[in-house]
Structure 1
Amino acid sequence: MFSKSTILVGIALAALSSSAFAQENFPAETIRLVVPFAAGGQTDIMARLLADAMSKDLGQQIVVENIGGAGGTIGAANVAQSTADGYSLLFGTVGTQVVNEFTMPDLSYDSATDFTPIALAATATAVIVANPDFEANSIADLIELAKAKPGEIQYTTPGIGTSGHLAMELLEYTAGIDLVAVPYQGGAPATTDLIAGHMQLGVDGLPGQLAQITSGALKALGTSGKQRDPSAPDIPAIAETVQGLEATAWYALVGPKDMPADIVEKLNAAANTALQSADLAQKYSDMGISVGGGSATDLAGFIDAETIKWKDVVAAAGITAD
């Protein structure tokens, strides 16, 4: 006869063995990658390209699921509340992983503790653009003009808390100037007003503005990366005038908190293999996007640094999601 304690120990060991086997053979089924925005947008396209490339390396399909709404928070919350087995992942952004924490007081998840970092997928810079008739032709000109007219110069943004808006707020915070944000429902209507001359100054993601800049419909004053963007090397980086300024949109692969380390390692390796491929790098480059990469630890440190930076900027600017 087996004692009750012997049976319980046997059950526990069997459970541990089954769990270890499942992790060792991960992935054994389809993985879902939640994009917290609607299908068809740039974030969605980027996620699908990465998912396809990673699927080939992992030997299992990664299916993109679009769960949009509330600035990405609905999709992010869905993943945060999922089982931490590696089969539910999030294509997170600077908004879902950092900024929303400071602009949405009723957020249903904790950005800092409810996710497991896996890999940085990509980065993209913002660009400050202007109607050709705008009197400033450079970042230095803009700063001088803003100091002469504090609180008078308006600029378009694709929305409150977007990467472009944050880039401009960081410029104001760092350069000590006061501009007025005019939020639009997306970049397209803002661009239309800039070209028509209804607005003179704006900020948006560089990929969406390259065609207008190239055609001369708008002029570029500066990009928000640490250095000039490879897709537009003739446009000066704002950091050439305002030392140290860097404000990039970024996209990262994350999962629910407490994911097993070996599963994180497998997903990170697959992501890096995909991101290092010439095919994916070229597709991202064609969109004005730079591939990411690095370890899960690298991503955790990056998110920590972004959190510190944007917390101060959001507070100083008084940005809310209302």
Structure 2
Amino acid sequence: MKQLLSIVVLACIMVLPSLGHSQEWSPKGSITLQIGFGAGGSTDIMGRLVAAKIEENTGWNVVVENKPGGGGIAMFSSLMREKADGQTLGLGVSMPIFLNLASRGDKIPFNIDTFDYLATIMRGEIGMVAKADAPYNTLEELIAYGKKQKGGIAVAFDAKPQQLVLEPVAKNAGVKFKFVKHKSGAEQVQSLLGGHVDIACTAGEHVKYIESGDLKMIASMSKDRQACSPDSKTLIENGFDLYLEPYFYIAAPKGLPENVKATLAKAFDEAINSETVKNSLLNSMQANAYNLGPEGTYTMMSQGAVDIKALVKAAKTP
């Protein structure tokens, strides 16, 4: 009996490692992380930062590709057609996706359930900013100034949601906004500092320029006021029930095998919560790393799409 028991135990010991090995996953070659915005902006910076940390932690090769267009719509439209093997991933921003789905969902080839979700990196804070010497300091003063300008106010933006939120502001305030499309927040700032536009709508890039005294915040476009300019009111406080609160998130084509999804989610979580990434986000954008994980990210995307659809509908109501 003892001999039989020993044989059974030995067999279990021999089988367990093979079972564990079958659950392991590593990429076959490079992982491609597609970023739905141009180089140099906040999304690009954080994507490359996290990719580098994953390479350091795992030894994988993570190739970053910029695929700008439509606030991430172009990149995700391409990503959905990739194999669900964990080799191609996408970094996007939630708000442009929500607003595009809410305003023209019938023209977009995907929806929230088209993808698997792995992580969030952080929540962004959108600021409406101007040059420090601009003749207006608040949204109220900007509107008054704009009404005196025959050509209106030139507004820099890099994603359609910024325009969709500010259009009802201009309409309700009786002022003309001329929207000037840019590829990134960094490009917006340079255009603003060069005097080519009157205001810009950036997601974090404005912080260091406010601290240096080159820019000032006209209004916070987030739900709350921002630490870099605590006296600047939100759009909501200015009487406009509108806001932008983007999450930067990682998605993959639908149908990832569970072991692939778990391995990738762990790799992203360890990178996002590393001291390197947390300190870099805090120093460069005054933002905290914020990972919701796979389930939390899916919940955020699902509920956010519903909330923004209602917000867009309300904004269109006279």
Q: TM-score range by the shorter chain?
A: 0.7 to 0.9
Task: Note the C-alpha offset of 1:44.
Answer: 2.2
Q: Conserved in 2, the CA contact under 8 Å of 1:169 and 1:313? A: no
Q: Conserved in 2, the CA contact under 8 Å of 1:206 and 1:223? A: no
- Equivalence for 1:113: 113
Tell me which amino acid in the other structure corresponds to 1:157: A
1:256 aligns with 2:253: yes
Tell me which amino acid in the other structure corresponds to 1:92: G
Task: Note the C-alpha offset of 1:212.
Answer: 4.1
Q: Conserved in 1, the CA contact under 8 Å of 2:42 and 2:205? A: no
Among 287, 294, 297, the alignment partner of 1:296 is 294
**Bigger CA drift: 66-75 or 301-310?**
66-75
Structure 1 length-normalised TM: 0.72
SS in 2 for 1:219: strand
1:238 aligns with 2:238: no
1:28 and 1:160 mapped to 2: Cα distance? Answer: 32
Q: Conserved in 1, the CA contact under 8 Å of 2:155 and 2:177? A: yes
1:221 aligns with 2:224: no
Tell me which amino acid in the other structure corresponds to 1:248: E
Measured at CA, do residues 310 and 27 of structure 1 come closer, stay the same or move farther in structure 2, by a change above 3 Å? same
Q: Conserved in 2, the CA contact under 8 Å of 1:23 and 1:262? A: no
SS in 1 for 2:54: helix
1:62 and 1:190 mapped to 2: Cα distance? Answer: 28
- Equivalence for 1:283: 280
SS in 2 for 1:269: helix
- Equivalence for 1:307: 305
Identity of matched residues, %: 22
SS in 1 for 2:89: strand
Measured at CA, do residues 25 and 171 of structure 1 come closer, stay the same or move farther in structure 2, by a change above 3 Å? farther
Alignment of 1:1-322 (within 5 A): 24-29=23-28, 30-94=30-94, 97-104=97-104, 107=107, 109-130=109-130, 137-138=137-138, 154=153, 156-159=155-158, 161-162=160-161, 164-166=162-164, 168=166, 177=173, 179-186=175-182, 200=198, 202-230=199-227, 232=228, 234-236=230-232, 238=234, 241=237, 246-288=243-285, 289-315=287-313
2:68 and 2:187 mapped to 1: Cα distance? Answer: 21
Q: CA RMSD in A?
A: 3.9
Measured at CA, do residues 153 and 306 of structure 1 come closer, stay the same or move farther in structure 2, by a change above 3 Å? farther
Measured at CA, do residues 134 and 59 of structure 1 come closer, stay the same or move farther in structure 2, by a change above 3 Å? closer
Tell me which amino acid in the other structure corresponds to 1:117: Y
Task: Note the C-alpha offset of 1:130.
Answer: 3.6
**Bigger CA drift: 202-211 or 111-120?**
202-211
Measured at CA, do residues 76 and 210 of structure 1 come closer, stay the same or move farther in structure 2, by a change above 3 Å? same
The C-alpha deviation readout for 1:201-247, integer Å capped at 9, x for no partner, is x24115333354344444323323344444x1545451783698652
Structure 2 length-normalised TM: 0.73
Measured at CA, do residues 137 and 97 of structure 1 come closer, stay the same or move farther in structure 2, by a change above 3 Å? closer
The C-alpha deviation readout for 1:264-291, integer Å capped at 9, x for no partner, is 2322222221111111112122331432
2:21 and 2:103 mapped to 1: Cα distance? Answer: 39
**Bigger CA drift: 42-51 or 97-106?**
97-106
The C-alpha deviation readout for 1:155-210, integer Å capped at 9, x for no partner, is 51324614x4355458679xx6455432113257765675577765x241153333
1:25 and 1:253 mapped to 2: Cα distance? Answer: 21
2:166 and 2:108 mapped to 1: Cα distance? Answer: 28
1:284 and 1:75 mapped to 2: Cα distance? Answer: 24
1:155 and 1:316 mapped to 2: Cα distance? Answer: 25
Q: Which runs of 5+ in 1 are unaligned?
A: 1-19
Q: Conserved in 1, the CA contact under 8 Å of 2:118 and 2:265? A: yes
Q: Which runs of 5+ in 2 are unaligned?
A: 1-18
